[in-house]
Structure 1
Amino acid sequence: MSFDEALTIAQEEGYAEPDPSFDIEGMDAAHKIGILAYLAYGSSLPPAHFYVEGITNIASTDFQYAKNHKLALKHLAVAKLVDDAVEMRVHPVLMDEKSSLASLQGVRNGIELDTNLVGKVHLAGSGAGRESTASGLISDLMSLARSNNKLPSRPDHPPVKIVEFSSSIFKYYFYLEVDDELGAAASITSCFAKYGISLESIIQEDHLQNNKAPIIITTDSTSEKNAQATLEELSNLSPVSSSKLIRIERDS
C-alpha cells in the first residue's frame, strides 16, 4: 500500500482531515507536546521554535527494515530535561519493537512519563477519529461548566533553557538509492569518515525497478549536526539519486 492510499483510507475513516498537512507534517503532535512541556516544565515554545518533522518521507522499505531488525517505526514527540535545559523535538524514529510506545497500533496514542519516584508511567488511548474527538470536546466542556475557577495560568516554573537540536545525539539509519558504479561505495563511506561517524552496518538490498541499488547504513552515536552535514554531502554525490535519515531512539 502506498502512502497516498493509506492517507485516503485514513481520511475516509475520519482519522485524517480533508487537508491532512497538519497531521502528516507533524504539527498536530508538535502542539500536543508543546502543551505537555508547558505543564511539566513551563516551556511555552510554539512549534516554530523546535524541530518538527512529519512522515511524508517514510516508505515501505523503512517499515521492512524495521520488521527485519526487531524495530518499530513510530512518529515520536519528545520533551525531556537534559541537565538544566529542555529538549523538544518531533520526528519519526526507529525504536525497540518491545517498548511500550512501539506496541501501540492503529490510531492509538501513547504517553510515556519518566518520573523520579515511580519510574516510567505509560498512558494510552484512542488518538483520532470522530468518537474520540467528540468525547474529548464534551469532557472539556463539562469540566469548564463544573469549574468555578478561571482557566489555569502559567505553571509556576522558572524560565527554561532549550537544548539546541543540532547538539542532540542519536544513532542513525541512512537510506540511499545509488547508481551501481565503480567507486560509489568508497565515496559514500568517505562522507561519514569526514565527520568522524562510525558505521555499525552497511546493507545493500536487491536492485529496484529503476536499476538503482538501495543501500541502508546504520551508524554509531553522533550529533544531529554531523548527521545532517553528512546527509547533505551524500545528496551531492553523483551516484546518489535519493537520500534520507531516520533517528534511532534507544531510550524508549
Structure 2
Amino acid sequence: MDPLRVGLCGLGTVAQGVLQVLRDNAEGIARRAGRQLQVVAVASRTAKPEVDLGGATFSTDVLTLAGRDDLDVVVELIGGEDTALQLVETALSNGTHVVTGNKAIVALHGERLLSLASANSAHLGFEAAVAGGIPIISSLTNALAGNAHEWIVGIINGTSNFILTAMAEQGQSFSDALEEAQALGYAEADPTFDVEGVDAAHKLTILTALGFGAGFRFDDVYVEGISAIAVEDIEYARQLGYVIKHIGMARRRAAGIEARVHPALVPQSHLLSSIGGATNAVMVRSNAAGDTFYAGAGAGAMPTASAVVGDLVDISKSSARLPRLPDGSATPLLPIDRVETEYYLRIPSLDQPGAFARVATILSECKISIEAAIQREQAAPSLGEGQWVPIVILTHAVEEQVMNRALAEVQALPEVVGEITRIRVEQLSATN
C-alpha cells in the first residue's frame, strides 16, 4: 500500500516531536496504520536547518502547502488563529484530511470546520487539542459513543494545576508559584490565557460539544481563573477536608447543560484531588459505563505529538470518523446564575460580638444553610481597624443568583471590612 503522504505545517517543539515519533516508532506505527506514514513536505514561517526533515521538502508558505493536491493529510501546528484557520479551511475545502492541535480554532469554529470536512469527505482530527497525552476525544467519540453522559469534569490546564499544587505543598503565594512555573517552562511570559481560564475554556467547549451535542459555543462558557486564590483559602480548604483545583465542568441538567471553568473545592478523597503538578485529568460519568477516569501529561512536545500521530494512524486505517455535528439549538447552555453548587465563603469581619450571627441570619433569610464554619482571630493592621477575623463558611447547595443576593447583603454589613472570597464546592459523589 502506498504511504500516507503528510504535509506538516509548523516546525516548533510539537512539530519536531511529531517528526521524532514518526521516525523513532516507524515500524510499529506502520504495522498499526497498515502502511507507512511519510512526511513529504514541511512548511514553516521560520526555517530551522538544524531539524532533520527526513527528506521532506521545505517551504515558508503554509497556505500553499495546505492547498496541494498531492497530500493525503495536512497537520496544522503553527498556532495562533487567523492563519491557522485559513490553512485548515483551505485543506478541508480541497478534500484533504486535517489533523490539528489548535484548541482555539476548534472551540471557536468547530461546527463550521466539521461541516466543511463532511461536505468534502475529509476528516478533521483534533485529539491533540485537549489534554495532550490523554485520549479523551477518541474516548468520547468512539469508546463511550453508546452512552449518555451525566457530567464531564477535569483538570485541563497544566499551568494552573502546577501553580495551585505549589501553593498547597510549598505555601507559595500565587505570584511566587507563577514565577516558578514560568522559570520551569510551564507558563508563558504572558500567562493570562492559562491563569484566567481561557485555555481551559477552549478545551471545555470542545468536550461539551462532543459529550452533550451542545455546539461549539465558547462565548457561553463561564470562565474564572485562579489569580484571586490565596494561600489561606488553600489552608482553610485543607482543614475542611478539601483541595482547591481549577476545573472544567460540563453537566447535564433538566433545563440544559452547565459549562463552566473555575476554581473549586474538591474532596480530599476524590481522585481529582491527587492530580498534582502539570498533570491533566478528566473524569466522565456515563449512564452505561459509569465513571471513567483519564490522567496524563496535558501538554508538552511528546505527549501532544503522540496525539497527533494517533489521529494520523486512524486516518490511515480509514477508521477515523467525524464527530456527530452538535445540534446547539436543541441543547441550551445554562447561565452561571442558574447553576446550583455548594460554596466556600471567607468573610473578613471585625472581631465584634454578634458578627457571625448577623452573617448567619442573612444566609438563613435567603434560605442558605450552613454546613460547616471556622472562625479564628487574625491581626490585620493594613485595614486600620484593629483586629479582624476571617469567618469561613461552607454552605449547602444553592443557586448562584440566590448566593449573589445574599453576599451583597453580607458585604454591606459594617463589620465586613474587605472583599468576600467565594469558591464553589464540587462533591463529585456517587449521587452528585
Please classify the TM superposition score into its range, dividing by the shorter chain length: 0.7 to 0.9
The 10-residue stretch of structure 1 (204-213 or 240-249) with the greater mean CA deviation from structure 2 = 204-213
Q: Which has the larger strand fraction?
A: 1
- Tell me how far 1:147 sits from its aligned partner: 8.0
Question: What is the match of residue 91 of structure 1?
Answer: 262
Contact 1:231 1:245 in 2 (8 A): no
The 3 A distance-change label for structure 1 pair 129 and 62 is farther
**2:293 aligned to which of 118, 122, 126:** 122
State the AA in 1 paired with 2:181.
A
Question: What is the match of residue 248 of structure 1?
Answer: 425
CA separation in 2, counterparts of 1:236 and 1:115? 43
CA separation in 2, counterparts of 1:199 and 1:145? 54
* Equivalent runs, 1:198-237 vs 2, <5 Å: 198-210=369-381, 211-237=387-413
> Do structure 1's residue 139 and structure 2's residue 309 form an aligned pair?
yes
- Tell me how far 1:191 sits from its aligned partner: 2.2
CA separation in 2, counterparts of 1:178 and 1:156? 48
Contact 2:220 2:335 in 1 (8 A): no
CA separation in 2, counterparts of 1:6 and 1:244? 20
- Tell me how far 1:181 sits from its aligned partner: 2.8
The 3 A distance-change label for structure 1 pair 145 and 17 is farther
Question: What is the match of residue 238 of structure 1?
Answer: 414
TM-score of the superposition, structure 1-length normalised?
0.88
Structure whose CA Rg is larger: 2
The 3 A distance-change label for structure 1 pair 132 and 150 is closer
**1:61 aligned to which of 228, 232, 236:** 232
Contact 2:215 2:326 in 1 (8 A): no
State the AA in 2 paired with 1:71.
Y
Contact 1:27 1:47 in 2 (8 A): no
Question: What is the match of residue 339 of structure 2?
Answer: 168
State the AA in 1 paired with 2:309.
S
Q: Secondary structure at the match of 2:209?
A: helix
Contact 2:255 2:334 in 1 (8 A): no
CA separation in 2, counterparts of 1:118 and 1:151? 21
User: Identity across aligned pairs (percent)?
Assistant: 33
Question: What is the match of residue 249 of structure 2?
Answer: 78
Contact 1:43 1:160 in 2 (8 A): yes
Gaps of 5+ in 2: 1-171, 382-386
Contact 1:114 1:121 in 2 (8 A): yes
* CA root-mean-square deviation: 2.6
Q: Secondary structure at the match of 1:155?
A: coil
CA separation in 2, counterparts of 1:79 and 1:156? 15
The 3 A distance-change label for structure 1 pair 15 and 133 is farther
The 3 A distance-change label for structure 1 pair 156 and 134 is closer
The 3 A distance-change label for structure 1 pair 181 and 44 is same
State the AA in 2 paired with 1:189.
A
State the AA in 1 paired with 2:273.
A
Question: What is the match of residue 47 of structure 1?
Answer: 218
* Equivalent runs, 1:188-207 vs 2, <5 Å: 188-207=359-378
Q: Which has the larger helix fraction?
A: 2
**2:355 aligned to which of 173, 184, 187:** 184
Q: Which digits, 9 at most, give the CA deviation of each residue in 1:31-83, with x for residues without a partner?
A: 11100111122222433312111111111112112222322211111112213
TM-score of the superposition, structure 2-length normalised?
0.53
CA separation in 1, counterparts of 2:347 and 2:333? 32
The 3 A distance-change label for structure 1 pair 13 and 162 is same
